[in-house]
Amino acid sequence: MGVATLPDLAQAAQDIMTAGRLLDAKNMAPATSGNYSMRLRDGHIAMTVSGRHKGRLQANDIMTLNAKGVPLENKTPSAEAALHTQIYALFPEANAILHVHSVASVVLTRALRGDLVLAGYEMLKIFPGITTHETHVTIPVFDNAQDMTVLSAQVAQKITKALPVYLIRDHGFYAWAPDMPQAGYLCEALEYMLQCELELLKIAGGTPK
């Protein structure tokens, strides 16, 4: 997606509101959780205002920030704005970012130690460059932190262009893509594999590893 095709604020707000309705319908937006953003044509960022229900967003629930995360209007962005600007700075092809909460992501990151390995799923082909199920990916899991400096420093050490998702323990996950529909597909695909992993863990029984 070239700069010429990046959205203006009005179009980005539409895309973000649509994403919110779809994610809420799939149980990835409980209460006011999550935050969503898009890179705009003018280099600024459109981001959801803090504390709004993502399934019922209005246009004025989306605000603009500059590329360093400084608000350009008198509204409060998500406390996690720095995690969004980090992704935009690192990956020029990232134009839309979704951070969502889900039961499966919280339960799995709480039950398991270390990063999360997903192996053998046909659905792995959702990730860029993966063309077969005969592979695995290791999705970084970061310990939750309220200090974004701490959290973004951990994130910086592990995220790569090849795998545009990461998990935060007890919290949820991030996904980014060249446009908002594709970011939504990543969320649906990852959540689906997390739900599979959670079901497998329940079948296996026993205490958490």
Minimum Å gap between C-beta 127 and its own copies is: 11
Exactly one of 4, 113, 129, 146 binds its own copies (CB under 8 A); which one?
146
Helical axes 180-204 vs 9-25, angle rounded to 10° = 20
Instruction: Verify binding: residue 163, its own copies, rule CB under 8 A.
Output: no
Instruction: Verify binding: residue 110, its own copies, rule CB under 8 A.
Output: yes
Please list, in sequence order, all residues whose beta carbon lies within 8 angstroms of the beta carbon of residue 6, skipping any fewer than 6 positions away.
39, 40, 41, 95
Exactly one of 101, 165, 166, 176 binds its own copies (CB under 8 A); which one?
101
Quick note: the x/- pattern for its own copies over 31-70, rule CB under 8 A, is xxx-------------------x-----------------
Alpha helices per DSSP H over the chain: 9-25, 81-90, 103-111, 148-158, 180-204
Confirm if 91 and 163 have CB atoms less than 8 A apart: no
Confirm if 67 and 43 have CB atoms less than 8 A apart: yes
CA nearest to 187, candidates 119, 126, 125, 144:
126
Instruction: Verify binding: residue 208, its own copies, rule CB under 8 A.
Output: yes
Instruction: Verify binding: residue 74, its own copies, rule CB under 8 A.
Output: no
Q: How far apart are the C-alpha atoms of 90 and 46, rounded to whole Å?
A: 17
Instruction: Verify binding: residue 103, its own copies, rule CB under 8 A.
Output: yes
Which residue, 41 or 188, is less far from its own copies as judged by CB? 188
| Torsion sign, CA atoms 47, 52, 54, 56 | negative
Quick note: the x/- pattern for its own copies over 165-184, rule CB under 8 A, is ---x-xxx--------x---
Q: Where on the chain is the footprint of its own copies (CB under 8 A)?
A: 30-33, 53, 101, 103-104, 106-107, 110-111, 120-123, 126, 131-134, 144, 146, 168, 170-172, 181, 185-186, 188-189, 191-192, 195-196, 198-208
